[in-house]
Structure 1
Amino acid sequence: MDPELEAFIALFPPATLDDPATERENFTKLATSVPQPDTSAMDVEDRIVPGDPDVAIRVYRPRDAQGAIVWLHGGGYVMGDLDTEHPWAARLAEGSGAVVISVKYRLAPENPFPAALDDVYAVLNWTAGHAAELGVTPDRIAIGGHSAGGGLAATAALRARDEQGPAIRFQLLNQPSLDDRQETWSARNFTDTPWVNRDKIAAMWRHYLEGRPAPSPYAAAARAADLSGLPPAYVASAEFCPNRDENIDYAVRLMQAGVSVELHQWPGTFHGSQAILSAEVSHRQIAELGGALRRALAE
């Protein structure tokens, strides 16, 4: 474990999702303890995307923005909202120079699959249809997220490919949740890792899928048999994370399907440890996400 991260492990709440209401409170407290970014160099606006139901979004628009990304918060499909994601969405906008559309998708267990994906897909379509209003072109729209948000980004990319939906230029997948089967080495063996462990991942999938196996790749992207024709991707994994091996496996399968991929495995890190901003490795992780998105939208 990176020593700069190890000193903060005790400050993270217990790794559990057994009581969603309590865990949402804990997650909010953790998010608000993070130093807030300076957004004076960008416009930040809350909006509503029409849908069934409507979806709340927060738009971060840097000056002279180049491209846009539909960005999806983490929280195990159970926690998180626009406010908890604010520090990271703003930093991504600053680091990439892209318009960031942060999405408040519906949460499980109250709203299991496919509610969150439907919300994300509605915002993706809205973004493509309002590209000119956002100051970007429709061919420079990416999708991405962290943890469960990364999983939603991957499934939305699959759905867009299959339904001939909006053209997605790039996938930015940070420690994504991709496989409900939990059969990889890291998923089976990381039972006591900080913040996220095997039991917490199992609870996450149980809430999202109502205790059943994923019914399709739109619920868990790793179940897709065919990954060809998907957008280029940046995939990042944390060394001490149950998702680590499924992240690496998915990146390799994308490459084998002819998709261009940048894969970064961060040694000494754990799931979500980039929230510890005093650590040098966290600054590198955040900078890489912004840099990868900037490069992808500028090409």
Structure 2
Amino acid sequence: MHRPAVAAEASGAALLWIHGGGYVLGNAAMDDRLARRMSHELGIIVAAVDYRLAPEHPYPAALTDCYEALVWLAAHPEVDSRRMAIAGASAGGGLAAALALMARDRGEVDIAAQILLYPMLDDRTSQRPDPDATLRRLWNNTSNTLSWTAYLGGADPHVAVPARRGDLGGVAPAWIGVGALDLLSDEACSYARRLCDASVDCRLTVVPGAFHGFDAVAPHTGVATRFFDSQCAMLRDYLGLRRPQS
């Protein structure tokens, strides 16, 4: 849990952060710096979830853990359950998208917005040839194949994979950001189009020349700062926030 030094005027707003790592690596603490930055910038609580990792714990273990964390956060005495958003990067972005669908289907917790950073949304990307393989940095088709295989196990991808879901209507408004040189760029753009077609407010940011995880590699560059600011703008709009006074 990360709490801001100065709370936003709209008290009780909160964000559930889901870390990346291809569904097989990582933990909540790896994104402490980013979570603190978001908490300070927005003036809200940010909770980062540790979820079980594949292949030891394939689908739906990680998603179940994220949903339980969301329910826990909604019931927290410091949190207004009507002012909650979810966010994640890479595999965490894929889990956030799946979590938004699960929350819609179960109807127990409302999500105000979903923030998806270069999300893993479609296992079918790993099954296609990549003509731009030499341009990839940090994430390529080999990594993608290994991660999806470990995560899915024997699960039905039409149930487990967000991009394979037929009906995206009624999910939380979305912000999707991805680099143009990211292997996951096409699936992110396709998912954004499908959300728009389903009458879901979706803001898509494609960063020219950027690779997978560019903002984590060089967080202080202008392009990474604008990427971060765009996410915060979406969250302010849907959580009813104003820039906190320092």
TM-score, structure 2 normalization: 0.89
Shift of 1:203: 1.0
> Which one of 195, 212, 215 corresponds to residue 274 of structure 1?
215
Shift of 1:206: 1.2
Residue aligning to 1:298: 240
Give the residue type in structure 2 aligned to 1:244: S
2:56 pairs with 1:115: no
> Which one of 50, 53, 63 corresponds to residue 104 of structure 1?
50
CA distance in 2, matches of 1:128, 1:216: 29
2:117 pairs with 1:174: yes
2:123 pairs with 1:200: no
Give the residue type in structure 1 aligned to 2:199: G
> Which one of 25, 29, 33 corresponds to residue 87 of structure 1?
33
SS class of match (2:15): strand
CA distance in 2, matches of 1:116, 1:189: 32
> Which one of 166, 170, 174 corresponds to residue 233 of structure 1?
174
Structure 1 residues 146 and 297: CA distance shift in structure 2, 3 A: same
Give the residue type in structure 1 aligned to 2:137: P
Shift of 1:216: 4.4
CA distance in 1, matches of 2:227, 2:159: 27
CA distance in 2, matches of 1:209, 1:277: 31
Structure 1 residues 244 and 109: CA distance shift in structure 2, 3 A: same
Structure 1, gaps ≥5 residues long: 1-58
SS class of match (1:162): helix
SS class of match (1:241): coil
CA distance in 2, matches of 1:184, 1:238: 21
* Structure showing the higher strand proportion among its residues: 1
Give the residue type in structure 2 aligned to 1:293: L
Say whether the 8 Å CA contact 1:70–1:101 is kept in structure 2: yes
Shift of 1:72: 0.2
Structure 1 residues 215 and 90: CA distance shift in structure 2, 3 A: same
Give the residue type in structure 2 aligned to 1:298: G
Structure 1 residues 218 and 156: CA distance shift in structure 2, 3 A: farther
Residue aligning to 2:244: none
Q: Deviations over 1:221-266 (max 9, x none)?
A: 0011001111111011111111101101001100000101111101
> Which one of 153, 157, 166 corresponds to residue 96 of structure 2?
153
Root-mean-square deviation (Å): 1.8
CA distance in 2, matches of 1:181, 1:95: 36
CA distance in 1, matches of 2:31, 2:158: 26
SS class of match (2:208): strand
Residue aligning to 2:194: 253
Residue aligning to 1:285: 227
Say whether the 8 Å CA contact 1:155–1:217 is kept in structure 2: no
Give the residue type in structure 1 aligned to 2:173: P
Residue aligning to 2:85: 142
Residue aligning to 1:14: none
SS class of match (1:274): helix
Residue aligning to 1:45: none
Say whether the 8 Å CA contact 1:69–1:100 is kept in structure 2: yes
Aligned residue pairs, count? 235
Give the residue type in structure 1 aligned to 2:99: A
CA distance in 2, matches of 1:280, 1:263: 18
Shift of 1:190: 3.8
Shift of 1:217: 4.8
CA distance in 2, matches of 1:250, 1:189: 21
Shift of 1:94: 2.0
Say whether the 8 Å CA contact 1:97–1:294 is kept in structure 2: no
Q: Deviations over 1:120-148 (max 9, x none)?
A: 00011111122xx12x3211111110010
Q: Deviations over 1:90-122 (max 9, x none)?
A: 122122222111011111111111110010000
Say whether the 8 Å CA contact 1:158–1:218 is kept in structure 2: no
